[in-house]
């Protein structure tokens, strides 16, 4: 059993080390439906995500944020694909999964059709300080 756990941990670490991010955009890890983002703090206590590039996700993919014990991910401008606009960490982790049928949602149908993607403004909040990197959901990459 220990051997199986070690092999799984090795595969996970190897996959995370090969995260397919460039200076302009970041996609899910090859062979998975997941982007992993670590939230750290700079000297002044401001949130500092490991990925500041544009996050490109497909429907059904997820983002796993790891960081301080308490932080939150929130969607701005009352535009969110979820029923709530803020997700608080539990034990330093927030997982967000993009809905499978987001392009069928009447709130986003027109934008998704016209722009070949739906943009969301989200933010990271730690100790009352915020940072807001970009996120887009596409169906064509």
Residue 24: predicted pLDDT: 55
Residue 70, pLDDT > 90, answer: yes
What are the Cα distances from residue 108, in Å, to 31, 62, 82, 104? 27, 18, 12, 8
Mean pLDDT (whole number) for 120-126: 90
Cα 39 to chain centroid distance, Å, stands at 11
Domains for the chain: give ranges and CATH numbers.
20-137 (2.60.40)
Residue 12, pLDDT > 50, answer: no
Instruction: Measure the CA–CA gap between 23 and 40, rounded to whole angstroms.
Output: 19
User: Distance from first CA to last CA of the chain, Å, rounded?
Assistant: 38
Name the pLDDT band for 113 (thresholds 50, 70, 90).
confident
- Write the pLDDT tens digit of every residue in 33-56: 898 999 999 998 889 888 777 788
Model pTM greater than 0.85? no
Are 56 and 32 spatial neighbours (Cβ–Cβ below 8 Å)?
no
Tokens representing 45? 């206590």
């Amino acid at each position: 059993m220990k051997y199986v756990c070690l092999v799984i941990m090795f595969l996970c670490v190897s996959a995370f080390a090969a995260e397919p991010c460039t200076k302009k955009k970041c996609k899910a890890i090859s062979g998975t439906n997941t982007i992993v983002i670590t939230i750290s703090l700079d000297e002044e206590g401001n949130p500092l995500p490991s990925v500041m590039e544009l996050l490109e996700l497909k429907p059904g993919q997820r983002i796993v944020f790891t960081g301080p014990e308490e932080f939150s991910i929130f969607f701005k401008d009352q535009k969110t694909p979820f029923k709530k606009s803020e997700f608080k960490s539990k034990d330093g982790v927030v997982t967000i999964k993009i809905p499978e049928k987001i392009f069928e949602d009447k709130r986003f149908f027109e934008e998704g059709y016209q722009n070949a993607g739906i943009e969301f403004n989200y933010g990271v909040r730690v100790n009352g300080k915020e940072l807001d990197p970009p996120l887009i959901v596409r169906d064509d990459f």
